[in-house]
Structure 1
Amino acid sequence: MRMIKKDVIAVKTVSQEASRQVRAFNRFYSKVMGALNQSVLDSPFSIAEARVLFEIKHLDSPTASEINRELGLDPGYLSRIIRRFEQDGLLTKERSPQDGRAFLLKLSEQGSKILTSLEKKADKRAAELLSSLPERDQPLLLRSMGSIRSLLSGVAPEVTVRPARPGELGIVAARHMDYYGERYGFDLSFEVYLHEGMTRFLKHREGGLGQAWVADREGEVVGSIAIDHAEEHVAQLRWLLVEPGFRRTGLGRRLMEEALAFCRANLYRRIFLWTFSELEEARRLYELFGFSPTEEVSHQIWGKDLTEERWDILLFDPDED
């Protein structure tokens, strides 16, 4: 008798209450999605058909197998959808040059128009949902959606490094205060120092002499850096922070590269920064980019006994040919 092996999936013990919360959220989310999907339900297409149209466009001439990897539909059901779309003139098929058994799918002009109409209606529904919330709560909702997606898919969302927007320096200051307060015991005088420095920086940035950048993960600030004008041809690098969960991902290097590129473009000859001896990871990063320690001061500051260090880099020497 032939024995059939069954795959065994190890399931970690989860409390009954946690399971109930997941199921309750699923019911709630299904209700929300029902309202968002009404734009599709008001059309001649099912939700699955609308998703197939979307994937054909955004996967750029996919095969049926590639669509199925994204959507997980029954292969026979997907074949019927594709056949119907072809009969209705919504898509065209072309034999794949890499695999003669497969066909590349592409929306026709009519199919593209229909998808555009569906997407506009869906965008309108989503905007209506967001506008029902206070503006200050919308980023929290979007970040939470991103967290759910990344945790359940196991795929980390992309992090973008971009110039800081109005109001985001307040977030940078708060994260610095939280991090250094919790980890190193800095007192409230550190918060005063941050806000005084940022007030001066904003005046310099307004004159085009400085810039701040944040690392943005779907609306959440997970890192920061700034270049502030110190004196003619000299800039100060400030407020470098990468959230602990994003370290050793290359994000610190990306922030440093952005800051140094700004300095070169604005003809700064020298850059300096202040750090302290306990920040070993940051010191290694500064050394990697060519900074070296030039000054050391041991004193009591921000409620702690610290050894502050100044690090400098000479970008170019005006006396050299």
Structure 2
Amino acid sequence: MSNTGLMIFDGEVLRSIDISLPELQHNITGAQLLEISESKVSKSLSGLTLPPNLKNAAVSQVSDGDDVTFRRTEFNQQQASEKLGVFISAVADTLRDAPVVVSVLDGSMLKMFLEDEDDFAMLAENLFTDLDEEDKGKLCKREIRNALVHMGVDMGVPPLSEFPILDDIIKKHDADGDEELGQAQFAQLLQPVLQEIADVLHEKPVTIVQNVEIFTGSRLRKILADEKTLKCLVTKTILELSNEKDSQGRADPIKTLILSNGKELGLPPLSSENEPVALLYETIFSQLNNRDKQTAADASTEDGLMDSLKDILRKFEDLLETAPVYSATNI
């Protein structure tokens, strides 16, 4: 877990949820049942508001694709419990296939900044410098809001959309006016604002879905079982390499296949800025470089390339099973 409370939800925690309902005096509608179901799931996921894809998948399954009729239908105790179980299982299955990465903001990171004078001074100075684009040495009070946006989830500040009380905190500390402040005054105003945000989050943490994709060994297990897809990629790679004019400078076919078809293979995009991912590829490719000449030569045939691909994917699978990696998404 990181300083911002980074957590991975893969659905396992939902498998043990108690799906029993309080004794019902009357039947309940599907709309009421969906509210109960979503609340139970959210509570088990640290208060996470279900992302649309999770909620829609569960609603579609529990309603058999007819959301409108389901919401109007009344259910007795047994029927409602069964439908609750279907809803929870649907969310768990979706998370198993596509885990969600979240940050639980509980004020702890902000308190770390505030408790260390040097850290806070550095933070305030950097924020002031970044926001003072004209290098005037002055900022309006209202720039406090932009400073909080600039800090963002990575520094423990929730977005306004998930933390509407932020507006009240800013107004309470008179941090929304046109009065210009120097760097020291700016820091003096920022400090109590951050302190109150930290206190509020300590009482009621906020869970934020991160725009990152998690890559685990489970993806590769599915790909390894998909002979048709693997064969198509191998055939395509062989064809591309055979069309190269310079056979002497021909690239290693297995590297070419991996780098050109990473997405289809369930691999994270290679980026030098993502150190864990770069290290993952470096580890695998170093093993490729150490192959004996015969093994490397075999990879130039279709059957040999298929065997090499499966071997490499199993190595990726083992490493990702032990240490999953993350990649930013454009969502």
- The question of a shared fold, defined as TM-score above 0.5 by the shorter chain, is answered with no
Question: Which structure has the highest strand share of the two?
Answer: 1
Q: TM-score, normalised by structure 2?
A: 0.23
Greater helix percent: which structure? 2
Report the TM-score when normalising by structure 1: 0.23
- The structure with higher relative contact order (CA 8 Å, sep 6+) is 2
